[in-house]
Structure formats: structure tokens, C-alpha cells
Structure 1
Amino acid sequence: MSLVSSSRSPVFSFVVVADTHINEDESLSSSPYQTNALANARARYVFQDIAAMSPAPRFVVHLGDIVHPVPSLPSFMQAVENFRSISSSVKVPIHLVPGNHDVGDKRVQGMPADQVCDAYLDTYRKAFGRDYYAFDEGPLRLVLVNSLLINSGLDEEVRQREWLEEQLSSAGDRRIFLFMHYPPYIYSEDERGNYDNIDQPGRDWLLDLMRRPQVEATFAGHVHNFWYDRVGEGEFYMLPSTAFLRHDFTEFYRTAPDVEFGRGDAEKFGYFIVDVYADGHVAHSVRTLGRQVSGDSEAFAPVDQFLTHPKTSMLDNMGVELRHPWAESMQITATGGVQEFGRKWARNDYPLLALWEMGVKLSKVPVLDLEEQESRTRMQLMARMGHRYVVTTLGLPRGAQSVDELSRAGVAAYEVNFPSAQFEMHRHALKTRRETDGVQIFYSPILSHDPDQYDGQHFNHVIKAGFSLEDLDGVAQTMSASRQAGEIDGVTVRITPDQDLLYAYREMRAFHERTGCEILASLKLAGPSLAKERADDAANVASVAQTIVLSRASSGIRYIYDTFMDVDRGYFPRHAFIDRHFNPRPMARAYCCLNALLSGLGDCQLTDVDKATAESLEFKAGNQSFRLVCATAAGFRQLEHLPSGAAVLDLASGQYTNAASVLEEAEADGLLHVVLITLK
């Protein structure tokens, strides 16, 4: 597996895997779900993927639920043997912590299986070795915790407790990473005990340890879903499974789940690659998409992985608008199975995961997100790793937050929306707010009359905001004077999908150079009719690819796509970066690929901006030359004459290919295709 990352070279990397649930048989499982029967083939893919990593990781940590049969079943040892065989392709050390399927469920009433006991611990140790231990690697101390012992009442609980406290106390200057199966909590530190967390009093004891200043990160499994939080100064990650989704949490979905009522939502399966630096770490999510390698086949086709993250991305002036709730909390229904006695609270962190995988650092949010405690707290959390926010308001901002509160929440700017007829009366107030809050102000006019609303037959009730490209000449003098007076920093410009992005770039750049105003380019994904869906993923890929290049080619323009998640109901239905199950669309993959490739190369220089077209855009970044091609078959015939050694990246799939394959596919389907060609 070839890794392309926006990160600088780490000291070393390691892999974290969770909940493989290896079965006793290749195609059978003690679970009634067909998804579970595929666990072995999916785990085999994961370990072969890890084995193919270049550069190789230093080690692998497995967070438990290594096998699916519990220790009381006669099939347990066969599943153990299968795990050994399946993971044997990995030649670096694999460190294991036990899960509830490996040693029994936690000690509490209402658990659905046999509970942890000395006999099951002995069985685990004979099969896998130690159930808790630590090792040092470079600047780190890695501490593996048996979370099933906590609150167990077993003699070993006391021994682990004393040992764990000693490991943290004796670490010296080493940074500490903790690994465990059960997370202490999934939603809040004071939540009620349930199947997915550690109960009191052990939870508070563990959280106190996690708050120690040298604890940099904690990784937990069990929940088969992604969540992120901080405990003290340490980052806290809950990982997805490689085998199946805990589908009670598909309650987050606004549309019906797919395979086996959500259990087989393979786009959420995956593992983590963690890059370790002298001054911190970056945890990358790798989606395996449920890929499989069968037991009787030696064939393995590694895929290219493009890794980026807000901590490492250099794409500072491009982002997305979060129209949907992006940190939504809700009560998860008690449907039975592992949750029978009441609902539990959980937060949907899948939009956040998608933002991280794309390396998005800039988001536009409604002022409601800043005003409400829960979303503001998440903004503050994200700001600590580089997220920045443009807060859009209807009318003047109310100034409810102090300068310090705005800074901690990562607020970089206000986008202030009101009709242009009110601009003169608000100029002084804009200046006061800008000086008081210490953030930038972008003025966005609300269009009070739009001739496009009526086409002679239909009248569309549509709100539009932002200057059009055609407006810019007429407002240049007024906006320039307002900027010089300290009232605004820039303006919002509205760009629709049918507009040529290169033309828009030239017009906005000229306006910026003439007025000194920065520009917030609002890139619309909706079509012209509020009643018709725009679902052109290929056009979206072309748009985001061109925009990323243009955003790196000049300062003074920030590009924000007006939709992050699909709109599949209401007005202007449209595709965007993620679907309503929060899974990435091709547009997100293209964003990730280009961000990972270009972040470390510095700014882009367009080779000849006056001759560039939407079909072919040549540019340089660092010491490399590129050509972005967005074309149908006719435009791709130029690929027949590429220089030797040119690399062709299909931005929709995120995989390297070759010129002949792209041309053949384009001729067969007649559709738009988007590739990035590295010329040298």
C-alpha cells in the first residue's frame, strides 16, 4: 500500500485495529448476521493491507474483540488459531488487549453473555499472552489496559490498578498513549452506565489517570463506531470495527440504513494509522470499505491511501458550509439486544470524521452554532487542532461572546448578511463590531430583487445572498472605501455551478487587487431549479479539483462550498461531499487526494492562466509539474502523448491508473472524467 500524506515525515508510525471478531470458520459465525460471517475475509484484507504499507509501521495494537466466539464456547480456540493465521502476514509486532468477546463481559447486571472471570482470563493468557502490559518506543510509553478488570472485583483488578498507576508515575519525560477495549464513556464523563462504557467507580479512577498531563492519547474499541473527545489535555479516540457496525447507532441516519439494517455499512469499517512526531501525533482514519481477501486466495491488490488531517493540511483558504447539524446529540433507542433498559445519549461524530479525512480546516457555520453551548464546545475542541470558522449572521452580529471566547472557538470571521440598501446605515456598526471582536467582517448583500425568480411560468421563492461576479465592478469603489475605513475586510461573492471557475478566479483576483478587499467565494452546489435534484458527482469532482488548485494559486480569496452533506429533501436537492449516511462521495475523495498531494509542496503557480481552460489546467507546485484534466473522451485523447514516467491519478476513485484505461473508460461511458497528471 502506497501512502501519500500531507504530513511531514514522522518519527515513526503505528497502526491501531479494533474489533476484528474472527470466526471459527471462514464463512460461518455464531452470530446470526451474514455480515459477521465475512469478518475473517475482511480482517485478512486489513492485515495484508498493513503488511503492504510503505513505509512499514513500527508496530500494531489491537484493541480487543480479537475473536467472536466467547471463551465458554468450544469454538473459541479455533477462532484463535484463525486469528494467528490471518494476522501472520504482518511481520512487525502485534500487541493485543482483551475485549469482552475474548475474556467475558464486564461485571454488571444485564450483560448479554458470560462475564469476566479468572477462568476466562487464564484461557485468554494461554491463547494470546499477557492481558495488560506496557512498552516504550522512542519518545512514547505505550500502556495496554485490560478494561474488563475494572470494577470486576477480581484479585487481578487490584494488581492492574497498582501497576497502571506505577507505569504512569515512572514514565518520566515520555509521552503516554493508553489502549483499552471499553471506553470510559461515549458521550459524557457523567453518563449512566450502559453496555458501551465503564461503570463507576472505576470510570472516575481511569479518567483521573487520563487527565494526567503526560497522557497524550487514549484509544478504545468496543463501540464499532467513531467518536472523538478530549480528557484533560489528552485526545480520546474511539475506533470503528473492521468487521461490522454497531447498528443501533444508525439511529443517527435520516434515511433507512442499507445492508442488514445498518450492520453491514461497510463504508464505515476501517482502522487507524498514527503518525508520531517529536511534538505530537496525527491519527489518520483508513476506510477499508469492507474489502475482503478469501482464505483460499493469495491475491491481494493494495490500494493507494491519501492521508490528510487538519493538523497537517496547508489548505487554509478553502472549506465547506455546515448547513446540517455537524455535532448532533440524540438519545439512541433501546431496541433490545445489548440495550434493553433505557435509552442512551450519543453524538454523531461522522461528519467530523469526514472533515478530518478531507483535511478541512475552514468551515462556515450559522450563528446558532456559536450561541448554543454544545456546538460551541465542539468548536472550541476542534479549534485546538487547527479548525477555523466563518460565522454567518442575518443582520449585525450581536456580540454575545468576548474576544477570548471567539478566539477559543476558532472564529476567524463573520459573514454579515443584509440588503445593500442598508449598507450605509450599518457602516459604523460594522466598524465597531470589527474592532470590538477582533475578527474579520465579510459583507454579503441579500438580493431583494432577482429577475431569475420568474421564468414566465414559474415563480421561485428563493433567498440569494452575496455579490454576483457581474456586480463587482459596480461596487468596487464603495467596498474599497469601506475596507480602508476599517469597516469590512472583504465581501462574499456567489458562484453557481454553471459558471466557469477560471473566469470567476480572474474576476475575483482583479477585484481583490483593485480594492484590497478579501473575497469569500460561496460556491453553490444546487442547480437552477429548487424542485430538481442536482446529482452530478463528476461535475462536483471537477469543480473541487479546479478550486483547490486555484485556491493555492493566489491569496485574498477563500473558497467555501455551500453544502457539505447531501440535501435529499426540501428545496434544491443536491449531492455534496457526504451522503445522508455520512459516507464520503467522490467529491470528498478528490478533496482528500489533492490536499494530501499538494499540502507539502507550497503554493501553486498556474503555468499560463490566460490560456488555461476548464478542460485542461497546468500548474507547478514545488519542483513538480501537473496537469488537471476534466474532460470527456475527446479531451482525454491528449493523454496518448504523455511523457514517459507521468503518473495519472483518477480523482473520483482516488486511485492511480494509466492513460489508456482512462481513455477507454471515457470512450465507453461518454461521461466527464477528472484526472491529475504528475508530469515530472
Structure 2
Amino acid sequence: MLRPETRLFSFAVVGDTHVKPETGDQSAPWKVNERATGRARFIAREIARYDPRFVIHLGDLVHPVPELPTFDAAVALTHDVFRQHHNRMHVLPGNHDIGDKPNRAMPAKGVRESWIAIHEKNFGPSYRFFDQDGVRVVTLNTPVLNSGLPMEAAQRAWLETTLASAGDLRVFVFLHYPLFVRAPDEPSTYDNVDEPARSDLLDLFRRHQVEAVFAGHVHNIFYHRLAGTEYYVLPATSFVRQDYSEMFRIEAAAENGRDDAEKLGFVMVDVHADGHAVHILRSYGRELGAAESLAPAAPRTTDLLPHPKRPGGAPIGVFMRHPWAEIVTLPQNGPMDEFVRKQVRNDYPIAALWRLGVRRARVPLDDLIDPASRRRMADLVAIGHRFTVSGFGVPAGGAADAIVEHADLIDRFECVLPFDAVSDQAEALAAFRARLGRPVLLARVATSADEAKIGSKIELFVAHGFRPDQLPDLEALLPLAIDGIVVRAGLDADLPALCATLDAWARRTGLGVDLHLRIAGNNPAANVTDDAAILAAAVEFYACALAFPRLGLFFDPFMDLDRGYFVRHGLVDRRCNLRPAGLAIEALSTFWGETGAAAELAVDMQGQGRILMLSGAERAGFLILPKPGARLTLDPARWEAFGLAAPPLCVPLDAPWQVSSRIGTQLAAEDGSVPDTFDRPTLLVGTRSKV
């Protein structure tokens, strides 16, 4: 785990700003491109709030290509947008800056020496390195690869020397074109480095044990681990490449997917003595005018940002019902890739987990059996994720062998059985548990076939886990060779009371308990899409996870189920953008992440909503949940009496905190004041008084 005391420094990465003059430029037919400059200004200001040691720009600074008459004006405007970072920004050339990679299937003219010379005049050498606190930072000119231009050979010889001379320095490499998007052996597309340069660089990075490689160009997020190196493809500030909207089984966002604004942003990288953490910060497409960009903004820190490599984050897990490592084949639809079927893996479910600070996921046994998703599990376990694997029946034969072989990827195994079959399977269950060497939990299969029928009405469902009213039945399980049991609850449950009961049962029996919050009814035709109710349940569930760390709490589902049976909303929608409940979890995991020590929880039920009070070793706070259209009052004397040392930070839970100008870095309100009435879900959190 990366801990705050081991952090050496932080730096920012920005890319694909596509700045264009605000008048007189016709280099793009899309309306969203007219917003690129304002969006870049917003990003430049937000980067300054984090005071990075340096800034890397991954290229495509401007949209008009060098042959257009508006190119020089766009370059001058880019200098103005990033002037506050002038002395610490290192710029790579992108294909919009110096020409496309040398491939006759590309839509624009190829790289040429005269355009490289213009870039270097404006932004300095197109490849370089510098050393910072034990890290060697290497930036490359990727459009020139495979070009045969003299610079290609010169850069290759320089890179070999630069990597070989790094010695004990850790190495981070920055590119415009990624080496690959889906896999190292993928065919040439608009979005990767062609052979033979790709394999050559992969071999160099492997031999010299490069720690991380960062790339842009694709305007979407992808993540890989290969031979110990982490490869990141990062978002744009300007727009999303609309060809990639095919990854999502939902209608395209605005402008055919190009203006999916929640996917825009920049990156802060924390470099620790023992690793690094990449934080992708969303801008939601916010813009600033030239005058606004000069206004001072409150500083922020990366210390609060969750990451699977760091302690903290969300104390809850999630159900990954949808494919989360899916390979999607994009249609042939130029100008980018007119002649090939480009395949990509949709990494946005993983990026959403990172946003929410969620490291625990529940997946079916099929995901462990399948080689592709199993490799992905290994990638994620290596950076701190934990998987609960579930299956129906006691595994046997080849399935059991596969589970045992890959036990290092399993945090615990959930075995689902009919209750009347448990005693018959007890011996097999004990033998499997002994082979696995990981905790095994028992979940009771629940189907509508077991329910009593009244009249002609029938509800068809299949679920799992014991109902809370079946706790007395669990006493018969105590002699079994299991490590815990699974209980399920719905939106109507009194979660604090239920968690207190389950915690007491777990303490008495010595068994673990996983509680699944199922956002669904028993009627497959009923839609559960009340975002306000789901947000309130998610917040209460989160608070219970902080108060009862002995329990394992899983939210079901992670992503919307928007068709088929049991339609319901989750923490993210089908584009992997955050639902209101997801916004709440994101804010909570940032400003009150998992600490490892239980917090005391009390609930104040009021006619217009409820207030949850949390008191931990170092912080205390209120979770204020008014009913829709209602207001709740909280006298400031109350939080003072609760032991807060200073005015608490006030964080709305139904809005993206990352683009709020009012939320600062410390647990205190920026203007020193806190409202006393609330008409929206809100977190008030602050440090505890020292006694």
C-alpha cells in the first residue's frame, strides 16, 4: 500500500487540448470543438490548484494542422491558455502538431521535418528527458516512428542511451500515440504505433524495467499491465472520440458521442518511494473565459483522492453484473479506420471503480474460468483490488481445480446452495474449503418457487442470500466448515438496525457476514429507478460499512440494468458515468474513506428525512438526507457539541465535487461558514477535537 508519508512529489498530465481560435477557424465540423479552448482554460486552472512539480502535455495541443492558416493563431492561444504553467510544462508533439504517423491509410498528411521544426521552435525539443527525485522522465516523438526521417534514428539511439544510463532511477515514459490499445499484437490502426517500432519500444521498456508509460491521442481511458510495466491511455480535455461510443450499450451521448463531457479531464500522478498512483480527475466539460482563468482558486491536494494502491477508499464492494473486461469490435467507419475491424477492451467500468474508491468486486465463477477476464483479474489484484467469486453448488472436477489453481486471485468464495441441500453437501463443502485455502461463505439460493402463493398473482425471481428473518435458521449452520454466510436486504430495510444485529451475530458465532443490498424488488416487471431513494440507501449503506467493519457490504448492482428483467439503477449508468448514488459514493470515499477503525453511528429520524451521525477516532460528521422537496435543519451548535474542532467541510452528495469551486483541501469550509438548513443530500465532516 502506498502511504502519504512515502509520497515524493506529484505531477500533472494533460493531453489532446485541441485548442482552436475562437473565430475564423473551420478545422472541425463539430460544435463541441468550439468549446475546446474554454475547456483547456478550466483544466489549466484546475491543474494549478494541485501545484504539481511539473506538467506533461501529451500532444495535440491545437486542432488546426500545420498547413492551415489558423495554425499559428492556435499555437499562440495555447501558450496563453497555459501561461501559468510555462516554466514547468513539457510538451510532446501530437499528430495535429506535426502530422500523422507515416501510414497511407491515415486521414491527414504525414509527419514532416519542417513541421517538427515549427513545433520545436514553439515548444522546445520534441523528445527529451529530465530527472526528478529519483525518477527519470522521458518524452518521445511518436509520429516520427517508422518514418525513416533522420530524427527517427537519432531518437532511437538517444533513447537506448537514456534508458541504459538511468541506473537506479525509476523511468516514466510519455507518448502521444499509445503503443497499443487492446493488446501488444493488435493490427495497425489509427490509434497505435505501427510495427516495427512498437515491438522495438516494448522490448526496450521491458529490458530497462520502465515503471509506467503514459499516452494520449485516443481521447479515452485504457489501462494495461505488461511485464511489470503499467500502461495508461488517458482522457482528453476537449472532446471524446465518438467512434469509441460503440463500447457502450446505450444511445450515444451528445454529438454522436463526441460530447460525453463527464469523460473529459486531466491526470494527477503521485510518485511514492515505493510506487505511483494515477488519479483521473474529471472536468465535466467545464469552461472558463480568458478573464475567469486569472481568478485565484483554492488549493487542493491529492492526499484525499482514493486509489486501489492506497489505504482508504470506499468500505463497500459492488456486484459486477455486466461484463467488465469486455472486448468490443468497432464498426468500419472512417476516417479513422476504414479498412480494419478495430477491437478494444472497455476499461470504463474499471475507471469508474477507481473514481469511487471501490476495490472490492463480486464476480461470477465464469470470470475466473475465462482466461481473458482472469488475466484482467490478475492485473487488478496486483494493484490492490479484491474479488469475491460466486458460484452455484459446491465446485467439483475441473471447475474446482481451476479455482484452486488461481486461488491467489480470490479474496473469498461464495457458495450458493439450496438450504435443504446444505447438510448433504457438508462433506464436499469442507473438502473444497480445505483445498482452496481462502474463506468460503455460504449463501442460500432464494427463488419464487419457494414462496407461498396467494391468489393468482405470481412473481418470478431468483436471488441468493438469507433473508434477515431467516437468521434463526443459521444456527444449524454453525457446525459446518464455512467461514461465513451471506444475507440479502432491499431498499426498504432498516440498514443500521440490521447491521447491528448481523454484527452481534458475527461476534457471537465467530463467522463472517456479507450483506448484499439488492436494488430490486421481487417483481421482474417492476422498475427501481428512483435515484433519490437509491442515493439515500447507498449513503446509509456506506455509513454502516464504516460503523461495522466486521461485515462485508456489497451494493447490487454497480451498473444500471436498463433492459430485460428487474430494471434498476446502480452507481453508474450504461456509459459508466456516475448516477446520483455514485456521486455520493465518490464524495464519501474522498472525504471520509475507509480507515480500518469502526465509527460510531447514530440515526436521527425526522419527518422530512434523516440525519446520520458518524464519530470516528480522528473525524466526525453528519450525513444529511432530506426527502425530495423537503428541508432539514441542523443547528451549528449541534456539530460543535458533537466534537468537531473547526467548522466542517460541506460537501453536496448529489453533485460532482471535483468541479466545485467551494470545496478545498482541508476538512474545513473555505469561507468559514456552514449552512443550517439543507434541501439536498450533504456531508458535513471535520476533524475531531483533541481532548
Structure 1 Cα separation of the partners of residues 313 and 419 of structure 2: 32
Shift of the 198–226 alpha-carbon distance from structure 1 to 2, 3 Å rule, reads same
> 1:406: which partner in 2?
406
Q: Distance in 2 between matches of 1:568 and 1:163?
A: 53
Residue aligning to 1:249? 244
Specify whether residues 298 and 50 from structure 1 end up closer, same or farther in structure 2 by C-alpha distance, changes over 3 A only. Answer: closer
Q: Tell me, what secondary structure is at the counterpart of 2:343?
A: strand
Indicate yes or no: 2:28 matched with 1:20.
no
Instruction: Tell me by how many angstroms 1:649 deviates.
Output: 1.8
Match for 2:419: what amino acid? S
CA offsets per residue over residues 120-146 of structure 1, 9 Å max, x none? 111111121110000000010000000
Q: Deviations over 1:637-678 (max 9, x none)?
A: 124545462332222225467899976662xxxxx6343343
SS at match of 1:248: helix
Give 1:540's match in structure 2, choosing from 534, 550, 565.
534
Show the counterpart of 2:683. Answer: 675
Unmatched 5+ residue regions in structure 1?
667-671
Change (3 A) 1:403 1:570: closer
Q: State whether residues 648 and 678 of structure 1, in contact with CA within 8 Å, keep that contact through their aligned partners in structure 2.
A: no
Query: Once the 2 structures are TM-superposed, how far is the Cα of residue 103 of structure 1 from its aligned partner?
Result: 0.5
Measured at CA, do residues 419 and 325 of structure 1 come closer, stay the same or move farther in structure 2, by a change above 3 Å?
same
Equivalent position of 1:334 in the other structure: 332
**CA root-mean-square deviation:** 2.6
Change (3 A) 1:556 1:646: closer
Identify the match of residue 501 of structure 1 among 495, 498, 501. 495
Q: Which amino acid aligns with 2:178?
A: P
Report the Cα distance in structure 2 between the residues aligned to 1:52 and 1:340, rounded to whole angstroms: 42
Q: Look up the equivalent residue of 1:636 and give its one-letter code.
A: L
Aligned-pair distance for 1:426? 0.5
Q: What are the superposed Cα offsets for residues 467-523 of structure 1, whole Å, 9 maximum, x if unpaired?
A: 1111112322x22211xxxx2111110111100111111111121122211011111
- The counterpart of 1:652, out of the listed 651, 654, 671, is 654
Report the secondary structure of 1:499's partner residue: coil
Q: Please give the secondary structure, in 2, of the residue aligned with 1:111.
A: coil
Which region of structure 1 is more displaced relative to structure 2, 298-307 or 326-335? Answer: 298-307
Stretch moving more, 156-165 or 66-75: 66-75
Q: How does 1:206-221 map to 2 (within 5 A)?
A: 206-221=201-216
1:29, CA displacement in angstroms? 4.5
1:128 pairs with one of 120, 123, 128: 123
- 1:293 is paired with a residue whose SS is coil
Instruction: Provide the aligned length of Structure 1 versus Structure 2.
Output: 663
2:388 and 2:411 in contact (8 A); partners too? yes
Return the letter of the residue paired with 1:48: R
* 1:518 partner letter: G
Query: Counterpart of 2:104 in structure 1: which amino acid?
Result: Q
Which letter does structure 2 place at the counterpart of 1:598? W
Distance 2:583 2:42 in 1: 21
Match of 1:322 among 320, 323, 342: 320
Give distance in 1, aligned partners of 2:486 and 2:595: 28
Counterparts of 1:256 and 1:608, CA distance in 2: 43
Q: Deviations over 1:42-76 (max 9, x none)?
A: 001000111222xx110100001011111111211
**Is 1:624 aligned to residue 632 of structure 2?**
no
- Partner of 1:146, secondary structure, is coil
- Name which of 39, 51, 60 aligns with 2:36: 39
Which deviates the most, 548-557 or 650-659? 650-659
Q: CA deviation at 1:158?
A: 0.6
Matches of 2:72 and 2:604, distance apart in 1:
68
| Residue 263 in structure 1 maps to residue 258 in structure 2 | yes
Alignment of 1:72-471 (within 5 A): 72-90=67-85, 93-298=88-293, 307-314=305-312, 318-398=316-396, 399-401=399-401, 405-408=405-408, 410-448=409-447, 454=453, 456=455, 458-471=457-470
- What stretches of structure 2 of length at least 5 have no aligned partner? 641-645, 664-668
Asked whether the equivalents of residues 17 and 271 of structure 1 are also in contact (C-alpha less than 8 Å), the reply is yes
Residue 87 of structure 1 aligns with an amino acid whose one-letter code is F
Deviations 1:344-386 (A, max 9, x none): 1111000010011112111100111011111111001111011
Distance 1:364 1:76, change over 3 A: same
State whether residues 64 and 96 of structure 1, in contact with CA within 8 Å, keep that contact through their aligned partners in structure 2: yes
**SS in structure 1 of the partner of residue 417 of structure 2:** strand
After superposition, give the CA deviation of every residue in 1:313-337 in whole Å (9 maximum; x if it has no partner). Answer: 4358520010000010021111121
| Match in the other structure for 2:484 | 490
Alignment-mate amino acid for residue 80 of structure 2: S
Does the Cα contact within 8 Å between 2:544 and 2:601 map onto a contact in 1?
A: no
Q: 1:607 to 1:411 in 2, by over 3 A?
A: closer
Do 2:102 and 2:111's aligned partners in 1 also have CA atoms closer than 8 Å? Answer: yes
The alignment partner of 1:189 has SS state of coil
Q: CA shift at 1:598, angstroms? A: 3.0
Letter in 2 for 1:516: G
Residue 45 of structure 2 corresponds to residue 48 of structure 1: yes
- The aligned amino acid for 1:16 is V
CA displacement at 1:178 relative to structure 2:
0.1
633-642 vs 515-524, which deviates more? 633-642
Letter in 2 for 1:443: L
Instruction: Report if the CA contact (8 A) 1:651-1:676 is conserved.
Output: no
TM-score of the aligned structures, taking structure 2 as reference length: 0.91
Deviation of 1:196 after TM superposition, in Å, equals 0.6
Equivalent position amino acid for 2:632 in 1:
F
Alpha-carbon spacing, 1:601–1:491, altered in 2? closer, same or farther (3 Å): closer
Alignment of 1:532-571 (within 5 A): 532-571=526-565
How much has 1:457 moved relative to structure 2? 5.0
Cα distance 1:37–1:491, how it changes in 2: closer, same or farther (>3 A)? same
Note the C-alpha offset of 1:607.
Answer: 5.7
Q: Secondary structure at the match of 2:11?
A: strand
The Cα of 1:157 is off from its aligned counterpart by 0.6
Q: Which amino acid aligns with 1:288?
A: S
CA distance in 1 between counterparts of 2:27 and 2:210 reads 38
Residues in 2 aligned to 1:500 and 1:607: alpha-carbon distance in whole angstroms:
13
C-alpha distance in structure 1 between counterparts of 2:452 and 2:285, whole Å = 46
Report the identity percentage.
Answer: 35
Tell me the TM-score normalised to structure 1 length.
0.92
- Other structure's SS at 1:549 match: helix
Deviation by residue 1:185-217 (Cα, 9 ceiling, x = unmatched): 111111111111111111100111221353110
Contact persistence 2:176–2:217 (CA under 8 A): yes
Task: Provide closer, same or farther for how the CA distance between residues 359 and 572 of structure 1 changes in structure 2, counting only shifts above 3 A.
Answer: same
Question: Counterpart of 1:669?
Answer: none
Kept after mapping to 2: 8 A contact 1:26/1:41: no
1:653, 1:348 → 2: CA distance? 25
Equivalent residues of 1:403, 1:438 under 8 A apart: no
1:679–1:187 Cα change, 3 Å: closer
Measured in 2, the distance between the counterparts of 1:404 and 1:463 equals 28
Structure 1 distance, partners of 2:218, 2:454, is 53
Q: Offset of 1:605 from its aligned partner?
A: 2.5
Alpha-carbon distance in structure 2 between the residues aligned to 1:144 and 1:113: 24
Give 1:561 shift. 1.0
Distance 1:404 1:473 in 2: 32
Q: Which amino acid in 2 is paired with 1:638?
A: L
What's the offset of the Cα at 1:558?
A: 0.2
- Contact 2:315-2:593 within 8 A present in 1 as well: no
